[in-house]
Amino acid sequence: MIPKRKLRNILQIREIPLLIFVLILSAFFAFTIEGFMTLKNFEVISRQITTVGIVSIGMTLVLVTGGIDLSVGAMLSFAINIGGLLIIRGIPIYAAYPFILLLGAILGAINGLLIVWVKVPAIIVTLGTMNIFRGAIMVITKGKYITSIPQSYSWIGTGYTPFILFVVLLICFEFALRKMQFGRNIIAIGSNEQSAIYSGVPVNKFKVIVYILSGTLSALAGIIFIGRSGFIQPQAGIGYEMSSIAAVVIGGTSIYGGSGTVIGTFLGSLLMGLILAGITMLAVNAYWQGVINGLLIILAISFDTIRQMRRR
Amino acid sequence: MASKPMFNIKRKVPVSLLGLILFNVVLFVGLSFLSPTFLTIRNIQSLMLRMSELSMLTLAQTLVMIGGGMDLTVGSVMALSGAIAGMLFRAGFNPATVLVCALLGGALVGFLNSFLVVHLKIQSFIATVATNTIIRSVVYLLLKGRVLSAFPKSYVSLGSSYVLGFPILFLAVIAIAVALHLLLRRTALGRSIYAAGANEQCAHISGIHVNYVKYFIFTMSGILSAIGGIMYTMRIGAIIPDAGLNSPLEVVTAVLIGGASVRGGKGSVLGSLLGILAMYVLLNGFSLLGLSSFWEVIMLGVVLIAIVGQGNKKQIVKMSRFSRRKAL
């Protein structure tokens, strides 16, 4: 028997109720939908959640510092569209991947530096750069799809490869956030920037790093996107900013900064992926998904608010 | 603010309303030289007409941002009220009922937003991100993802009728803008919106019902956006499920260009309208000159960061001066 107090402590961990909810939902779908609990379906769901999931890891870090990054979808699209132009000109795959990642890092650095130097709120900077990146993509590609991607690029988007990559990244960033100085610093920045400055945290440096990571992870999600779909469209990644914010917030990361876990974000994206799969397989009108996602965000945040009020 | 701002150029001329007016004038003069079709009555009339519904959304956003919030549902509320109007017209209701129901729909969404912000204490940006996804899905469900064009002829003809050469919709926008301006500048409620936006704690201590103010601005924002939706259906004669999909961001940009701050307490009706005017004239000019409209999107982003960045730097300079004086 687990003592009652210990049980209460376990329930205090933010991820546990979410995990229980995910399990109940999967059980519900397993009973109501035939063929839900198959390996094939699991593979499909795992692939679906990976792209937004990897973007959400970067978004978690940004939200932990108290910022926000609305340009993730635009960075993803920019990196793979410009990379795609080189791919169809025949650059080798081992050069294309680093190039795409580097592009993402540069775009992220632009965000970070603008936020740190020009001192514009992150919402405004990334709203602006989102427009700039999206506009630049359309001007450069003239709105054309890039279709003739070589077969060699598809390995990263098939089977369990994207999911394994996702899990590895999850473990790395969870470790970095909990156990490394990097994590302590960004949590310090998010909970109180002034006191972080006074205690000698290089605030500006870490803020820029976080946005660079967000850009790089978005570009990585873009690489998986190329592997999965086999073509590149200028509209790639539209709406990713909202889905990733939703996944992160459902996962218990505070929008005010200073707290959050990558594991929570994983559970958040898993929950959204499960609901999408369930809706599709139950043949419910797909438009309900927006209603459910919106309600989930509101529920998750009010859950946190109520918990915080009770603690005081 | 321990780190020094990187650019230390002192700008003497602030981008104020005067600058914005000047910018618009330069744009008008420049475009009428560059394109022969720009300064024709036809083009100006169509510009006014096309601006009308987005101007309503801009007014809604202005109100919310002065009060220190942000409302990202303006675009989906526009689509929602258009969808409600279309469905009720198809069901054969009389115009008065239809209009009241469309406005009520908007008011209800605004009320829901203010409930989330006031009682569940969710940051308005995130709360409206959530309600925006919900409302947009509801619009898709109502319209079943299709375009609805069941609007009576007399209703649609209002959208293309003119008084003294001005489109009726444009005149309506001006009338509502004047009313809103008077509300903000001449009434106690208007003052308390500015006060609540500038410093919520302070406003609360000075005896302002900050929660009532929030209820008012969000509900009013819903109603104004719903009027925008009605104007949209009058102008186009149909409602598209994707109507106003990008407008929240466009509108926030216009309001910020017009002198508002993301921290609240600042902004004006005139400034916001000049902001949206500048954006539309730019867009119109780009298409007349045969440039890709995507350049307009890029410029929007640059202008947004530049203007807000400049305003912020001024604030930082002011703050550091103040703190120095306090230290002495």
Least confident of A143-157, B103-117, B186-200: A143-157
Long-range CB contact pairs, B8-11, < 8 A, 24+: B11/B310, B11/B314
- The alpha carbon torsion through A112, A144, B136, B67 (nearest 10 deg) reads 30
Average pLDDT of the segment spanning A165-193? 93
| Residue A302 Cα, gap to closest chain B Cα (Å) | 6
**CB–CB of A259/A190 below 8 Å?**
yes
CB interface of A with B, residues 132-151, below 8 Å: 132, 134-136, 138-139
| pLDDT value of position B87 | 93
Whether A7 has a pLDDT exceeding 80, the answer reads no
Q: What is the pLDDT, as a whole number, of residue B260?
A: 87
What's the CATH number where B137 sits?
A: 1.10.3470
Reported as a pLDDT band with limits 50, 70 and 90, residue A176 is very high
**B12 belongs to a structural domain:** no
Which comes out higher in pLDDT, residue B95 or B9?
A: B95
pLDDT at residue B71 tops 80: yes
Q: Classify A18-25+43-311 by CATH class.
A: mainly alpha
> Contact A161/A220 with Cβ under 8 angstroms?
no
A39 Cβ under 8 Å from any chain B Cβ: no
Contact A290 B131 (CB under 8 A): no
Residue in A124, A203, A291 nearest the CB of B308: A124
Q: Which of B113, B258, B272, B74 is nearest to B180 (CA)?
A: B272
Find tokens 């990097």 and name the residue: A182
Residues 6+ apart with CB under 8 A from A301: A249, A255, B120, B122, B126, B127, B130
Read off the DSSP letter of residue B162. E
In a domain? residue B3: no
Task: Work out the average pLDDT over A34-52.
Answer: 86
Decide: A260 and A191 in contact? Cβ < 8 Å.
Answer: no
Range(s) of the domain holding residue B211: 17-322
Kindly report the average pLDDT of chain B as a whole number.
Answer: 85
Model pLDDT, residue B13 = 36
DSSP one-letter code for B5: P
Mean pLDDT value of segment B273-298: 83
B80 within 8 A of B229, measured Cβ to Cβ? yes
Higher pLDDT, A65 or A256: A65
pLDDT over 70, % of chain A: 94
Contacting A residues, span 151-180, partner chain B, CB-CB under 8 Å: none
A97-117 pLDDT, tens digit each: 999 999 999 999 999 999 998
Please report the pLDDT score of residue A10 as a whole number: 63
**Residue in chain A lying closest to B130 (CA):** A294
Q: What is the pLDDT of residue B140?
A: 93
Domain spans, chain A:
18-25+43-311
pLDDT recorded at residue A91:
86
Report residue B163 CA to chain centroid gap. Answer: 25
Q: How confident is the model at residue A302 (pLDDT cuts 50, 70, 90)?
A: confident
Spatial neighbors of A260 by CB under 8 A, at least 6 apart, are A60, A63, A64, A177, A248, A251, A252, A253, A254
Q: Looking at residue B320, what is its pLDDT?
A: 53
CB–CB contact A127 B309 (8 Å): no
Minimum-distance CB partner of B294 among A129, A139, A297? A139
Query: pLDDT per residue over B4-17, tens digit each?
Result: 444 443 443 344 67
Which of B239, B147, B224 shows the shortest CA–CA distance to B183?
B224
> How many folded domains does chain B comprise?
1
Establish if B134 belongs to a structural domain. Answer: yes
- pLDDT classification of B249: cutoffs 50, 70, 90: confident
